[in-house]
Structures are given as C-alpha cells and as structure tokens.
Amino acid sequence: MFSRSAIRTLAAPSSRLFSSSSARHTKVAVLGAGGGIGQPLSLLLKSDPLVTSLSLYDIRGAPGVAADVGHVDTASEVKGYAADSLDAALEGVEVVVIPAGVPRKPGMTRDDLFNTNASIVRDLAAAVARVAPTAAVLIISNPVNSTVPIVAATLEKAGVFDPKRVFGVTTLDVVRAARFLGGVANAKPSETPVTVIGGHSGATIVPLLSQSDKGKSVSGEVYEKLVHRIQFGGDEVVQAKEGAGSATLSMAYAGAKFTNAVLRGLNGEKGVVTPTFVKSPLFADQGIDFFSSNVELGPNGVEKIHPIGELSAEEKKLLDACLPELKKNIEKGKAFVA
C-alpha cells in the first residue's frame, strides 16, 4: 500500500520520520507495547525499514497488538509476548524501547509517577541484563530524569552497564520545540530545529533558542511564553485529555524518530546527532552525571557527547534552575536501586 517514500510523507509532513541508509537490519523490542504509546509506536516501528523483527511485550494485550500490527505489509516479522514471556521477548534483541508504566493525570507531576514506575523499569532492566545485556535501551517511562539512572544502576549491578547504550528519550521536547517555534516564526518545523538540553520535566527542560536561526530573534513576552510552552507542553496534553492519560501519539512519533536515529547510528551512518539524556561528563563535576545534550550516535550507541555551546543570559538562568532539580531526580533514581 505504501512505498517507502509515501510512508515518509504520511508520517512526517514537515520532516522525514524514517531515514534509512543500507543493509544492517535489527530486532527491536517494545516493552509496554499494549499501552497508549506502545501501540502506535509498534505500528510506526513496523513501518521502519531498518527494523527486521519486532518483539512486542506487555503484561496485558501484547499478543493482540502483535496480531494486528503484524498484518501491515512491510517486511519485518512481528511477535507478541504475554506477561509470563519477558525473557523470550528479549531473546536476540539489539534495541529495547521501554514505554511501560503509568502516565500522569491532571494535577500530578512526573515525579509523582516514581513510586509505581521505578520498580517497573528496574525489573525490565534486570531482564535486559539477563537476556540481552548488549542491547541499546531507550527509556520513555517517566520520570525520565530518574528512570534512566534506575536502568543504568540496575545494569551496573548486574555488571553489564555500557554508558554508550542507555538513552532517555527526550525527543518529544525537541519535536515540540520545533513545532512551537515554527508557529511563532511562521515557518515550517523542518526549518526551526531547536536543541533542547537538561532533562525531561518542567524546569529541567532547557531549549537553546539562541542557537537556532529563527529562534535567536524571539524575545520579550513571546520568548517567555515559548519557553514555558516547550517546558510544560506535556501539561497541555494531560489537561486536554482530562484524566485519560498523557501524550501518546506525539510520543509514539518522537519515540519512532529517536529509535530510527539509534538504528541509523548502529548501521554506521555518520552525522546522526540529536539530543538525548545519557550518562554525561558535562556537569559531572557538580554531581550531575546524566544530562541531555546533542549526542552523535554511532555503531556502539553514543559516539560523541557534544558540549552545550554558548548560552544567552536567559538560557544561563534556565540552566541554573534546571541543574539542582535534575540532580535531585537523578539521586532519587540511584538511591532506589542502591
């Protein structure tokens, strides 16, 4: 039904969702595939030409999702795994994407999800350590600022942590920033890319508009509103869904986009650079050893962590507000595993 180019056009009117170089194809697992993000994410990954095989796992509903997605006429194989089959789902997997866990309701912060989601991601990471210890792990479950350190510490405990292969997915902030700046600058989002650094919650989300061609001329009240919208875009969706959850469709899009970037890097494509929340030296001297900044992806995962570059006075203030909160979130995650 869809040619590769048609799929690109359909999925991403303003930029290409999937880029594909050549040859090396990969088995990808989605843990939490039955959920609001998991289902559309599985569908989008079924359309990614770099995915050979899709392993869909959830404590409920994954075999049904797999049967459904599996009818899509792209080349990849799809298999669903029920609650008792986590290890089987991870067999031979090179990339694991984790959207398992509860979403926010109005009035909640992402940190309010910690008590439920911390143990979910810890247990999934322990299974990855057991069955697919060299897989790249892409964490969507919130609070990302804490769940990434939890996954890292769990893998470390099992003796298999590779800092090049654990990623917090902050792509939705990047997608929103491009979209919202496009609206303000009256330009296509493909012409308004924005680097977003820090973490993934409120004040820890720091958009670097001064480094964007169209963003650097935004100032005053318009600038303040734009930054607020990028930092609190998640709340907009939570409120609009009135208790029925948080962003799922835009997150599935962002998750598929980031997974494709990781796959292109693993494939040996050069110059794949995007922000992601990884173990990072950038603020390690302040006790903050996970941070999102532009990262070049390569055959081993993280190839190079780029410096944050020059910041405007406003951005320095945003970063000052980000760092203490991020540090607390990271320490909370680490303490949970310790």
- What is the set of active-site residues? 200
Q: How far apart are CA 76 and CA 141, in angstroms?
A: 25
**229 assigned ligand-binding residue:** no
Residue 59 near residue 83 (C-beta atoms within 8 A): yes
For residue 132, state whether it binds ligand NAD (rule: CB under 6 A): no
| Residue with the two structure tokens 């008590």 | 115
For residue 319, state whether it binds ligand NAD (rule: CB under 6 A): no
For residue 171, state whether it binds ligand LMR (rule: CB under 6 A): no
* Ranges within 158-177 binding ligand NAD (CB under 6 A): 169, 172
Output 149 or 234, the one with its CB closest to ligand LMR. Answer: 234
Question: Of residues 151, 209, 247, 297, which one binds ligand LMR by CB under 6 A?
Answer: 247
Q: How far apart are CA 128 and CA 136, in angstroms?
A: 10
Binding-site partner at residue 318 among ligand NAD, ligand LMR, none, CB < 5 to 8 Å by type = none
**141 assigned ligand-binding residue:** yes
| Residue with the two structure tokens 């289902």 | 39
Question: Of residues 172, 208, 209, 322, which one binds ligand LMR by CB under 6 A?
Answer: 172
CA proximity to 326, closest of 198, 230, 208: 198
Measured in whole angstroms, how far is the alpha carbon of residue 117 from the centre of its chain?
Answer: 16
Residue 250 near residue 172 (C-beta atoms within 8 A): yes
Q: How far apart are CA 167 and CA 148, in angstroms?
A: 7
For residue 169, state whether it binds ligand LMR (rule: CB under 6 A): no
Look up residue 331 and give its two tokens: 């320490």
Output 166 or 218, the one with its CB closest to ligand NAD. Answer: 166
Site mask, ligand NAD, residues 247-276, x = CB under 6 A? xx--x-------------------------
Question: Of residues 40, 80, 101, 199, which one binds ligand NAD by CB under 6 A?
Answer: 101
When CB distances to ligand NAD are compared, the closest residue is: 35
**182 assigned ligand-binding residue:** no
Question: Of residues 8, 46, 104, 279, which one binds ligand LMR by CB under 6 A?
Answer: 104
For residue 257, state whether it binds ligand LMR (rule: CB under 6 A): no
CA proximity to 265, closest of 139, 138, 142: 138
**104 assigned ligand-binding residue:** yes
Q: How far apart are CA 298 and CA 304, in angstroms?
A: 8
Residue 315 near residue 208 (C-beta atoms within 8 A): yes
Question: Of residues 209, 237, 254, 326, which one binds ligand LMR by CB under 6 A?
Answer: 237
For residue 36, state whether it binds ligand NAD (rule: CB under 6 A): yes
How many angstroms separate the Cα of 281 from the Cα of each of 15, 85, 304?
Answer: 31, 37, 11
- Residue 243 CB neighbours (<10 A): 10
For residue 122, state whether it binds ligand NAD (rule: CB under 6 A): no
Output 103 or 182, the one with its CB closest to ligand LMR. Answer: 103
Backbone angles phi, psi at 191, to 5 degrees: -95, 0
| Residue with the two structure tokens 């899709």 | 54
* Ranges within 71-100 binding ligand NAD (CB under 6 A): 99-100
> DSSP secondary structure string, 212-259?
STTTTT--HHHHHHHHHHHHTHHHHHHHHTTTS-S--HHHHHHHHHHH
The three-class DSSP label of residue 22 is: coil
Output 113 or 135, the one with its CB closest to ligand LMR. Answer: 113
Question: Of residues 246, 276, 280, 294, which one binds ligand LMR by CB under 6 A?
Answer: 246
Binding-site partner at residue 238 among ligand NAD, ligand LMR, none, CB < 5 to 8 Å by type = ligand LMR
For residue 246, state whether it binds ligand NAD (rule: CB under 6 A): yes
**110 assigned ligand-binding residue:** yes
Please give the residue ranges that form the binding site for ligand NAD (CB under 6 A): 31-32, 34-38, 58-60, 99-104, 113, 117, 120, 124, 140-142, 144, 169, 172, 200, 245-248, 251
